[in-house]
Amino acid sequence: MAADPVTQFSRWLADAAAAGVPEPTAMVVATASPDGAPRARTVLLKGYDQGGFVFYTNKTSRKGCELSANPRACLLFPWHAMHRQVIVEGGVAEVSAAQSERYFRSRPRGSQLSAWASRQSTVLASRAELDGRHARMSARWPEGTDVPMPPFWGGYLVIPEQAEFWQGRADRLHDRLRYRRAGDGWVIERLAP
C-alpha cells in the first residue's frame, strides 16, 4: 500500500481503466439531509489530487442543498468486475469559481446548455418540458457563441479524512485497508471483513 490514500487510489484507478472497467471514474456520492436522511447518487469524478476528489453539479440540486446544509460526503467507487471498491469519507468545500469555469469551458456544448436547461431535482411535467428548455437555451446561445457558466453550477471538493480500500478474497475473507488521517500524515489499519 502507498503511504497515502490518494497515491493508492491513483494506482487502483489506473488498474480499473487498464482492466476495461466501464466508467472507472463513476462514483456514488452519499450525502445526508438536514434531518439526517441519507441519499446517494452516481456522478463522475472530474479530478483528484492530494487535496481531495472533485465533482461538478447544479448547486441547487438536492445534493447541492444537502452539501450546503451538511458539508460532508462519502464517495464509493464500485469496481465490481475487479472485486475492488474504494470508499472515501470527509468534509466538503466548494471549488473556486475560476476552477469551475475552467471545467465548464471543457464540457461539450450540449452539456453546457443542459446545465442551464435542467433545474436538477425539480419535478417536470413531461420530457417535452425539459426538451423545450434545452431548445430555448440553444436559441439563446446559438452555435458560435459562448455559453456562460450558470451561477447555480459548480464543483465540490471532498477532502478525505479516511479512505478504505476493499479487495475481494476467497471465502469472504476480504482485505479491508483503511487510511485514517493522523495529524499531517496517515495511519493504515487493517479491518476485519
The pLDDT value recorded for residue 126 is 96
Instruction: Over range 67-96, report the average pLDDT.
Output: 97
Q: φ and ψ at 59, to 5 degrees?
A: -75, -15
Residues 103, 155 contacting (CB under 8 angstroms): yes
* Each residue's pLDDT tens digit, 113-137: 999 999 888 999 999 999 999 999 9
- 180 included as an active-site residue: no
The pLDDT value recorded for residue 160 is 98
The pLDDT value recorded for residue 41 is 97
Exactly one of 172, 176, 180, 190 is catalytic; which is it?
172
The helix (H) or strand (E) run that includes residue 1 is none
Q: What is the pTM of this model?
A: 0.94
